[in-house]
Structure 1
Amino acid sequence: MRRPKLIFVNRVFWPSEAATAQLLTDLAAALAARGRDVHVIAAGDGAPEFRGVTIHRTGAEPAGRLARYGHFLRGARRELRRLVAPGDVVILKTDPPLLAVAATELARAHGARVVQWIQDIYPEVLSAHLGAWAAPALLPLRLARNRAWRASALCVPVSDDMRATVLAAGVAPDRAVALPNWAPPELDLPARPDDIAAVRREWGAGDALLAVYSGNLGRVHEFATLLDAAALLRDEPRVRLAFVGGGPRSAEVRAAVAARGLANVAFFPAQPRARLAAALAAADAHFVTLRPGFERLVAPSKLAGVLAAGRPALFVGPRPSGLAALLDTEGGGHALANGDATALAATLRAWNADRTAAAASGVAGRCVYERHFRFVDLVARWDALLESTAAD
Structure 2
Amino acid sequence: MTVSEPKSGATPPVIFFNRFYAPDHSATAQILSDLAEHLAGHGRTVTVVTSRAIYGQDQGLLPAREERGGVTVVRTATPGRRRGMAGRIGAYLAYYVMAFFAALRLGRRGTIFVVKTDPPLLSVPLAIAARLRGATLVHWVQDLYPEIAGAYGMRIADGPVGKFLAALRNWSFRRAARVVAIGDLMAERVERMGVARDRIAIIPNWSNDVDITPSPTRSPALRQDWNIPHGAFVLEYSGNLGRAHEYDTLIEAAITLRERRDIVFLFIGGGHMSDQLAARVAELGLTSFRFAPYQPRERLSESLGAGDAHWVSLRPEFEGLIVPSKVFGICAAARPVIAVCAADGELIRLLEPGHACLSAVPGDAAALTEAIVTLADDRPRGDRMGAVARTILDRHYTKARTLDRWRTTLDRMGDRMGDQMGPNWAR
Q: What TM-score bracket applies, with the shorter chain setting the length?
A: over 0.9
| 1:48 paired residue among 63, 66, 72 | 66
CA RMSD across the alignment? 1.6
- What SS class does the counterpart of residue 219 from structure 2 fall into? helix
- What SS class does the counterpart of residue 68 from structure 1 fall into? helix
Give, in angstroms, the shift of residue 266 of structure 1: 1.4
Provide the residue aligned with 2:33 in structure 1: 25
How far, CA to CA, are the matches of 1:2 and 1:56 in structure 2? 24
CA gap of 1:26–1:68, structure 2 versus 1, over 3 A, is same
- What SS class does the counterpart of residue 119 from structure 2 fall into? coil
CA contact (8 A) 1:187 1:309 kept: no
CA gap of 1:82–1:32, structure 2 versus 1, over 3 A, is same
Provide the residue aligned with 2:309 in structure 1: 285
How far, CA to CA, are the matches of 2:399 and 2:272 in structure 1? 28
Give, in angstroms, the shift of residue 334 of structure 1: 1.4
Q: How is 1:218-367 mapped onto 2 (pairs within 5 angstroms)? A: 218-328=242-352, 331-367=355-391
Moved more, 139-148 or 104-113: 104-113
Is the counterpart of residue 6 in structure 1 residue 14 in structure 2? Answer: yes
Provide the residue aligned with 1:57 in structure 2: 75
Give, in angstroms, the shift of residue 37 of structure 1: 0.7
- What SS class does the counterpart of residue 60 from structure 1 fall into? coil
Provide the residue aligned with 1:215 in structure 2: 239
CA gap of 1:32–1:330, structure 2 versus 1, over 3 A, is farther
2:66 aligned partner, one-letter code: P
Provide the residue aligned with 1:385 in structure 2: 409
Give, in angstroms, the shift of residue 61 of structure 1: 2.8
Provide the residue aligned with 2:169 in structure 1: 145
CA contact (8 A) 1:187 1:305 kept: no
Instruction: Deviation per CA, 1:292-342: give whole Å up to 9, x if none.
Output: 210110000110000110000111111211321332358311122111211
Give, in angstroms, the shift of residue 368 of structure 1: 1.1
- What SS class does the counterpart of residue 74 from structure 2 fall into? strand
How far, CA to CA, are the matches of 2:212 and 2:284 in structure 1? 39
Instruction: Deviation per CA, 1:57-82: give whole Å up to 9, x if none.
Output: 10233431001011111111121111
Provide the residue aligned with 1:100 in structure 2: 123
| 1:120 paired residue among 143, 156, 164 | 143
How far, CA to CA, are the matches of 1:72 and 1:167 in structure 2? 28
Provide TM-score, normalisation by structure 2.
0.88
How far, CA to CA, are the matches of 1:102 and 1:298 in structure 2? 22
Give, in angstroms, the shift of residue 197 of structure 1: 1.9
CA contact (8 A) 1:116 1:155 kept: yes
Q: How many residues align?
A: 391
1:49 aligned partner, one-letter code: E
Give, in angstroms, the shift of residue 98 of structure 1: 0.3
Is the counterpart of residue 375 in structure 1 residue 399 in structure 2? Answer: yes
CA gap of 1:178–1:48, structure 2 versus 1, over 3 A, is same
2:359 aligned partner, one-letter code: A
CA contact (8 A) 1:157 1:177 kept: yes
Give, in angstroms, the shift of residue 132 of structure 1: 5.8
Instruction: Deviation per CA, 1:266-300: give whole Å up to 9, x if none.
Output: 11111110100010011100011001210110000
Give, in angstroms, the shift of residue 192 of structure 1: 8.6
Is the counterpart of residue 15 in structure 1 residue 23 in structure 2? Answer: yes
How far, CA to CA, are the matches of 2:32 and 2:368 in structure 1? 34
Structure that is richer in helix per residue: 1
CA contact (8 A) 1:233 1:345 kept: yes
How far, CA to CA, are the matches of 2:341 and 2:173 in structure 1? 28
CA contact (8 A) 2:267 2:292 kept: yes
| 2:107 paired residue among 76, 84, 90 | 84
- What SS class does the counterpart of residue 140 from structure 2 fall into? strand
Moved more, 356-365 or 134-143: 134-143
| 1:183 paired residue among 207, 211, 217 | 207
CA contact (8 A) 2:323 2:346 kept: no
Give, in angstroms, the shift of residue 85 of structure 1: 1.4
Q: How is 1:133-172 mapped onto 2 (pairs within 5 angstroms)? A: 134-136=157-159, 137-172=161-196
Percent identity (aligned): 37
1:60 aligned partner, one-letter code: T
2:41 aligned partner, one-letter code: A
Is the counterpart of residue 200 in structure 1 residue 218 in structure 2? Answer: no
Moved more, 37-46 or 55-64: 55-64
CA contact (8 A) 1:32 1:53 kept: yes
- What SS class does the counterpart of residue 36 from structure 1 fall into? coil
Instruction: Deviation per CA, 1:177-228: give whole Å up to 9, x if none.
Output: 11111012443544595x8221122122221000011110111111111111
Where structure 2 has 5 or more consecutive residues not aligned to the other structure, the ranges are: 1-8, 53-61, 82-86, 417-427
Give, in angstroms, the shift of residue 50 of structure 1: 0.4
CA contact (8 A) 2:11 2:414 kept: no
CA contact (8 A) 1:80 1:107 kept: yes
1:139 aligned partner, one-letter code: K
CA gap of 1:71–1:132, structure 2 versus 1, over 3 A, is closer
How far, CA to CA, are the matches of 1:160 and 1:330 in structure 2? 21
Where structure 1 has 5 or more consecutive residues not aligned to the other structure, the ranges are: none
Give, in angstroms, the shift of residue 2 of structure 1: 6.0
CA contact (8 A) 1:327 1:335 kept: no
How far, CA to CA, are the matches of 1:281 and 1:162 in structure 2? 30
1:250 aligned partner, one-letter code: S
